[in-house]
Amino acid sequence: MLKLKGSLKISGDKSISHRALILAALSLGKTKISNLLESDDVLRTLNILRDLGIKIKKNGEDWVVYGNGTCGFFQPDSALDCGNSGTTARLMIGAVSSNPIKCTFIGDESLQKRPMSRVTDHLKTIGAEVHLTNNDYLPLMITGTQNLLPNKHIIKTASAQIKSSLILSGLNIKGKTTIVETKSTRDHTERLLKFLNLKFKITKYKNGETSIELNGPYEIFSKDLKVASDPSSAAFFIVAALITPNSQIELKNILLNPLRIEFINVLKKMGGKIIVKKTKKMCGEDIGIIKVKHSNLKGITISSSLSPMIIDEYPILAIAATQAKGKTIMKGLGELRHKESDRIVSIVSNLKKLNFNVISKKDDIIIQNKNVKIKNKKIIKTFNDHRIAMSFLILSIIYENKILIDNSDCISISYPKFHDHLDKLLKKY
Ligand code: S3P
Chunked in runs of 10, what are the mean pLDDT values of the chain (429 residues)? 97 99 98 98 99 98 98 98 98 98 98 98 98 98 98 97 98 98 98 98 97 98 98 99 98 98 98 98 98 98 98 98 98 98 98 98 96 95 98 97 97 98 96
What is d(CA 113, CA 110) in angstroms, rounded to the nearest whole number?
A: 5
Predicted local distance difference test score (pLDDT) of residue 180: 98
Q: Does ligand 1 have an atom closer than 6 angstroms to the CB of 164?
A: yes
- Prior bond to 139 cis, omega within 30? yes
Nearest-Å Rg of the Cα atoms of the chain is 21
Predicted local distance difference test score (pLDDT) of residue 77: 98
How far does the centroid of ligand 1 lie from the alpha carbon of residue 312, in Å? 8
Predicted local distance difference test score (pLDDT) of residue 174: 98
Q: Does ligand 1 have an atom closer than 6 angstroms to the CB of 161?
A: yes
Q: Does ligand 1 have an atom closer than 6 angstroms to the CB of 87?
A: yes
Q: Which atom of ligand 1 is nearest to the CA of 163?
A: 14
Ligand 1 pocket mutation pick from 164, 186, 262, 410 by most atoms within 8 angstroms of CB: 186
Predicted local distance difference test score (pLDDT) of residue 208: 94
Q: Does ligand 1 have an atom closer than 6 angstroms to the CB of 186?
A: yes
Q: Exposure string (b/e) for 226-252, b if CB count within 10 Å is 16 or more? A: bbbbbbbbbbbbbbbbbbbeebebbbe
Q: Please check whether residue 352 is in contact with residue 322, taking contact to mean a CB–CB distance below 8 angstroms.
A: no
Q: Which atom of ligand 1 is nearest to the CA of 160?
A: 14
CA distances for 256 relative to 224, 234, 280, angstroms:
20, 11, 10
3-state secondary structure of 415: coil
Q: Does ligand 1 have an atom closer than 6 angstroms to the CB of 311?
A: yes
| Ligand 1: residue whose CA is nearest its atom 15 | 159
How far does the centroid of ligand 1 lie from the alpha carbon of residue 60, in Å? 29
Q: Which atom of ligand 1 is nearest to the CA of 18?
A: 11
Ligand 1 pocket mutation pick from 161, 191, 312 by most atoms within 8 angstroms of CB: 161
| Ligand 1: residue whose CA is nearest its atom 13 | 159
Predicted local distance difference test score (pLDDT) of residue 429: 86
Helix (H) or strand (E) holding 267: helix 262-269
Q: Which residues are catalytic?
A: 312
Q: Which atom of ligand 1 is nearest to the CA of 15?
A: 11
Helix axes 262-269, 231-243, angle to 10 degrees: 10
How far does the centroid of ligand 1 lie from the alpha carbon of residue 400, in Å? 33
How far does the centroid of ligand 1 lie from the alpha carbon of residue 5, in Å? 31
Ligand 1 pocket mutation pick from 13, 15, 40 by most atoms within 8 angstroms of CB: 15
Q: Which atom of ligand 1 is nearest to the CA of 186?
A: 12
Q: Please check whether residue 325 is in contact with residue 299, taking contact to mean a CB–CB distance below 8 angstroms.
A: yes
| Ligand 1: residue whose CA is nearest its atom 9 | 312
Helix (H) or strand (E) holding 250: strand 248-255
| Ligand 1: residue whose CA is nearest its atom 10 | 312
